[in-house]
């Protein structure tokens, strides 16, 4: 009798323990696996904290960044915005059990990686040389190398055949990159003047797309099948560009926007090419440029009071020169600014963009939205 009671007690304790652990997302049950994963590649628009672990000049783990990020109680996490990134919001929208964790975080181990991993890095670009003014960042080549490490860990966790199936059917690979190749490479004054003289915009865009084709093909070789590729936003309209070029409120700098559009037109062709050439893969094109431009032009329609002035930052007419930090001035209503800082959208803007990518139509996300991509 006594032995039976003890056994029962242990079973009960075990059940309670398992329930507790799964509610904290620590223990990945079979049910969680069914919710799928996000593997996130990109730059500061989607970095969830990788740069905290690099010796770099590009960091966002200082207040008031993260002030509206509930999961950290408003403490900075390394995200370059006041709250959630587009990648976080999409993961939530798709029903994933927790945000994809930064690859470089020591906590990103064991079964947590089955909900996805984030490789994005502030300052990172398609080209290796991009962002070198920050000293350190993870460029796209390295991000794919890191996924190759995760790939082997997933093999160990699930066994090779289940791992393959999980990656092909249940995992979404998002790539948000390219802005820094212009802002912190091609367009940089002085440092890259040599490159700009020797390379036409056409040749540079060509180089970018050839590299990106190689990087996406490597992900395919590692069993990625469901891709979403974001184009480059209207770089000439960010508070930083508007401030240093001393523009009026409703003007944008021409050259950065022209370069972005030139790249974006060719990116669309690349997405179509990959859909035709890589059997079993679906590449979805996210038209971030038009989405963000819509918010910038029609900001009032979406409840914003400005799309030119950064909420957090300093310098010039649009608070667009000095990045957001403890000594910056901060706006009183963070939901009323399209831009959080001189470079990055606010969480309020990210929510609108993410909603369109999840559930919108082909104007912004084609050939299908992310909910349909998940359910393929």
Ligand X SMILES: *[C@@H]1O[C@H](CO)[C@@H](O)[C@H](O)[C@H]1NC(C)=O
- Rounded distance, CA 225 to CA 376, Å? 11
Measure the CA–CA gap between 124 and 217, rounded to whole angstroms.
Answer: 19
Question: Which phi-psi region, left, alpha or beta, contains residue 350 (left: φ > 0; alpha: ψ -120 to 50)?
Answer: alpha
44 is catalytic: yes
Which residue has tokens 């399209």? 338
211 is catalytic: no
Q: How far is the CB of 224 from ligand X (least distance, A)?
A: 10
Cβ at position 70, least distance to ligand X in Å: 15
Q: How far is the CB of 136 from ligand X (least distance, A)?
A: 12
Q: Which is nearer to ligand X, 129 or 321 (CB)?
A: 129
Q: Which is nearer to ligand X, 218 or 336 (CB)?
A: 218
Q: CB of 103 within 8 A of CB of 50?
A: yes
Residues at the interface with ligand X (CB under 6 A): 105, 107, 128, 141-142, 148, 218, 221-222
DSSP 182: I
Minimum CB–partner distance for residue 141 and ligand X (Å):
4
The reply to whether 337 belongs to the active site is no
Instruction: Give buried/exposed letters for 207-232 (b at 16+ CB in 10 A, else e).
Output: ebbebbeebbbbbbebbbbbbbbbbb
Nearer to ligand X, 110 or 303 (CB): 110
Give least dist CB 110 to ligand X, A: 12
Closer CB to ligand X, 213 or 371, in the complex? 213
Q: How many CB atoms lie within 10 A of CB 111?
A: 17
Please tell me which residue in 38, 171, 341, 346 is annotated as part of the active site.
Answer: 341
* Residue nearer to ligand X on the CB measure, 210 or 250: 210
44, 105, 115, 174: which is the annotated catalytic residue? 44
- Residue holding tokens 């509610």? 23
- Report the DSSP beta bridge partners of residue 102: 118
- Nearest-angstrom CA–CA distance, 326 and 66: 12
Mind telling me the catalytic residues?
44, 341, 344
């Amino acid at each position: 009798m006594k032995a039976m009671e003890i056994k029962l007690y242990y079973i009960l304790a075990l059940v309670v323990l398992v329930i507790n652990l799964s509610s904290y997302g620590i223990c990945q049950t079979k049910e969680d696996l069914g919710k799928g994963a996000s593997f996130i590649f990109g730059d500061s628009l989607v970095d969830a904290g990788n740069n905290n672990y690099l010796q770099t000049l590009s960091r966002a783990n200082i207040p008031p960044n993260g002030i509206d990020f509930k999961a950290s109680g408003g403490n900075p996490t390394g995200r370059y915005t006041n709250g959630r990134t587009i990648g976080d919001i999409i993961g939530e929208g798709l029903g994933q059990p927790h945000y994809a964790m930064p690859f470089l975080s020591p906590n990103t181990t064991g079964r947590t990686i089955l909900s996805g991993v984030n490789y994005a890095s502030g300052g990172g670009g398609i080209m290796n040389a991009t962002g070198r003014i920050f000293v350190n960042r993870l460029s796209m080549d390295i991000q794919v190398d890191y996924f190759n490490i995760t790939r082997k860990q997933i093999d160990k966790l699930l066994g090779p055949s289940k791992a393959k199936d999980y990656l092909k059917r249940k995992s979404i690979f998002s790539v948000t990159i390219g802005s820094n190749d212009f802002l912190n490479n091609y367009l940089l004054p002085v440092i890259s003047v040599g490159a700009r003289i020797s390379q036409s915009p056409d040749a540079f865009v060509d180089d970018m797309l050839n590299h990106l084709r190689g990087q996406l093909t490597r992900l395919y070789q590692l069993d990625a099948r469901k891709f979403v590729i974001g184009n480059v936003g209207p770089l000439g309209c960010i508070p930083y560009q508007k401030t240093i070029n001393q523009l009026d409120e409703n003007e944008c700098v021409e050259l950065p926007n022209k370069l972005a559009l030139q790249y974006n037109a060719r990116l669309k062709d690349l997405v179509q090419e990959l859909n035709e050439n890589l059997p079993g893969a679906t590449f979805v094109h996210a038209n971030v440029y038009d989405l963000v431009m819509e918010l910038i032009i029609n900001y009032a329609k979406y409840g914003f009071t400005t799309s030119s002035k950064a909420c957090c930052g300093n310098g010039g007419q649009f608070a667009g020169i000095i990045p957001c930090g403890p000594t910056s001035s901060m706006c009183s209503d963070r939901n009323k600014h399209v831009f959080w800082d001189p470079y990055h959208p606010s969480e309020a803007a990210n929510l609108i963009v993410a909603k369109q990518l999840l559930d919108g139509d082909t104007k912004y996300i084609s050939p299908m939205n992310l909910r349909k991509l998940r359910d393929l």
